[in-house]
């Protein structure tokens, strides 16, 4: 199974290598290359910035809690371009600083992108993008069932075939929303923290050098972004990302967020974002039933011999409503299925017996607490790499300790690079 995504660079590998090397060299030798806010978001934990919390659990912003706001300067006035309110405030301040300095002759006023800052792209709704992704995903699954001539008679057969199919593809092409948010299919724009001031080709290193790195306003740009609490994407220099960190020093961005009641990184991440697995698991059964209905055949023809005479019989697959599915299969069944799929999606060091122990312990948490406590515990352990002790009491102690830490201390440099 395959899902295509845009690859803008069509040149040969060696040409790309030389151009990328030239671009990195140009950035390095520029004076702005020494600024700490010029960040490689393809490296390490920074790749997940804005899409995971300090425990590496995938998260998405909640617009009701972190309201979106439209930009003053947009390249597309006919449509709404927005981001989280304090990000827009900081950018508007940055854009005003550019206008003031350009008018006074402190910087060049004729640069295509670095004189008058204009927004081309910002927030993208992660729920909308994921739903579009799922549509393509389900179509690919259905096509693969058809290609392999897999015919299922009931939900049990479907789940068996579905898991077999995913074993070879789910690591690169995730199914759950939690894995999607961490994947290359989900852009950093879904965090609500990113702003793009150009619409150039990300793969065109020559344009990056000509329009940004070699611009006479380049050093002013990187320095000004730092002053207003923005990081600059090292490889997509027109992308600004709000720095909401407070270690080792407090980002100026928190001055803007504090006006809305978010004074620390913790408050932003804990109060303004939600776990990606929550909205997904609420629809998990519906997704599975929808996919089952999509792949099940209208009827299955079978040839049987009656008194030596071959006859064609048609078997009709089982039909379910969501209520029937919920009654037939327990909540433990769906939780275990979710856990199994998440293990397939994540590259972890868990041994088989450790996986079984973790699932058993989380199912016990479900029985004594709720499915949400079980899911949160599972995601914390799955996404953050620490030794699994195989003890339910240990899990509870870790969960309580982490909650206490979250409530009483500031976020450090771990977890998505905050």
Q: Residue 310's pLDDT band (boundaries 50, 70, 90)?
A: confident
Total length of the chain? 418
Summarised one tens digit per residue, pLDDT across range 296-309 is 998 877 767 676 76
CA angle, residues 356, 361, 364, in degrees to nearest 5: 130
Q: Residue 396's pLDDT band (boundaries 50, 70, 90)?
A: low
Q: Residue 78's pLDDT band (boundaries 50, 70, 90)?
A: low
Q: Residue 91's pLDDT band (boundaries 50, 70, 90)?
A: very high
Asked whether 268 and 257 are in contact (CB, 8 A), the reply is yes
Query: What is the average pLDDT value for the chain, to the nearest integer?
Result: 87
User: H/E element holding 404?
Assistant: helix 392-408
Asked if residue 242 has pLDDT above 70, the reply is yes
Q: Residue 43's pLDDT band (boundaries 50, 70, 90)?
A: confident
CA 377 to chain centre: 19
**pLDDT given for residue 25 in this prediction:** 62
Q: Residue 9's pLDDT band (boundaries 50, 70, 90)?
A: very low
User: Which position has the higher pLDDT, 384 or 376?
Assistant: 376
**pLDDT given for residue 3 in this prediction:** 53
Closest to 237 (Cα-Cα) out of 29, 11, 32, 17: 32
**pLDDT given for residue 394 in this prediction:** 52
- Mention every residue, 6+ apart, whose C-beta is less than 8 A from residue 180: 130, 133, 174, 186, 276
CA distance 12 to 14: 6
**Averaged pLDDT for residues 179-196:** 96
In terms of pTM, does the model score above 0.75?
yes
Strand, helix or coil at 407?
Answer: helix
**pLDDT given for residue 384 in this prediction:** 75
CA distance 277 to 60: 10
Strands 273-275 and 194-196: unpaired
**pLDDT given for residue 10 in this prediction:** 53
Asked if residue 16 has pLDDT above 90, the reply is no
Percent of the chain surpassing pLDDT 90 = 69
Asked whether 416 and 53 are in contact (CB, 8 A), the reply is yes
User: H/E element holding 63?
Assistant: none
**Averaged pLDDT for residues 46-66:** 94
Asked if residue 2 has pLDDT above 80, the reply is no
């Amino acid at each position: 199974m395959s899902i295509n995504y845009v690859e803008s660079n069509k040149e040969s590998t060696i040409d790309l290598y030389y151009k990328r090397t030239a671009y990195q060299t140009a950035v390095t030798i520029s004076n702005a290359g020494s600024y700490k806010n010029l960040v490689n978001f393809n490296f390490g934990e920074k790749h997940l910035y804005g899409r995971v919390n300090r425990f590496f659990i995938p998260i998405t912003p909640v617009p009701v809690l972190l309201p979106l706001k439209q930009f003053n300067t947009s390249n597309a006035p006919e449509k709404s371009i927005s981001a989280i309110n304090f990000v827009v405030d900081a950018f508007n301040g940055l854009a005003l600083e550019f206008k003031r300095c350009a008018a006074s002759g402190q910087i060049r006023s004729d640069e295509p992108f670095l004189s008058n800052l204009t927004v081309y792209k910002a927030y993208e709704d992660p729920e909308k993008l994921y739903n579009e992704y799922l549509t393509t995903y389900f179509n690919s699954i259905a096509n693969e069932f058809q290609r392999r001539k897999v015919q299922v008679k009931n939900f049990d057969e479907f789940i068996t075939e579905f898991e077999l199919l995913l074993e070879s593809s789910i690591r690169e092409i995730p199914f759950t929303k939690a894995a999607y948010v961490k994947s290359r299919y989900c852009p950093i724009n879904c965090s609500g923290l990113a702003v793009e001031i150009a619409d150039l080709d990300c793969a065109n290193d020559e344009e990056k050098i000509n329009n940004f790195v070699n611009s006479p306003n380049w050093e002013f740009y990187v320095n000004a972004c730092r002053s207003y609490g923005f990081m600059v994407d090292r490889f997509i220099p027109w992308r600004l990302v709000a720095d909401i960190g407070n270690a080792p020093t407090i980002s100026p961005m928190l001055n803007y967020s504090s006006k809305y009641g978010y004074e620390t990184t913790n408050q932003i991440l804990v109060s303004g974002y939600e776990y990606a697995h929550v909205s997904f698991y609420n629809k998990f059964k519906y997704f599975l039933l929808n996919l089952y209905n999509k792949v099940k055949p209208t009827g299955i023809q079978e040839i049987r011999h009656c008194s030596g005479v071959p006859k064609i019989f048609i078997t009709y697959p089982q039909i379910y409503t969501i209520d029937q599915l919920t009654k037939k299969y327990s909540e433990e069944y769906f939780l275990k299925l979710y856990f199994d799929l998440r293990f397939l999606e994540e590259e972890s060091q868990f041994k088989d017996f450790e996986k079984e122990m973790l699932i058993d312990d989380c199912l016990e948490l479900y029985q004594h607490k709720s499915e949400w406590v079980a899911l949160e515990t599972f995601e914390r352990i799955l996404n953050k790499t620490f030794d699994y002790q195989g003890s339910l009491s240990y899990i509870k102690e870790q969960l309580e300790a982490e909650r206490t830490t979250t409530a009483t201390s500031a976020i450090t440099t771990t977890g998505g690079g905050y």
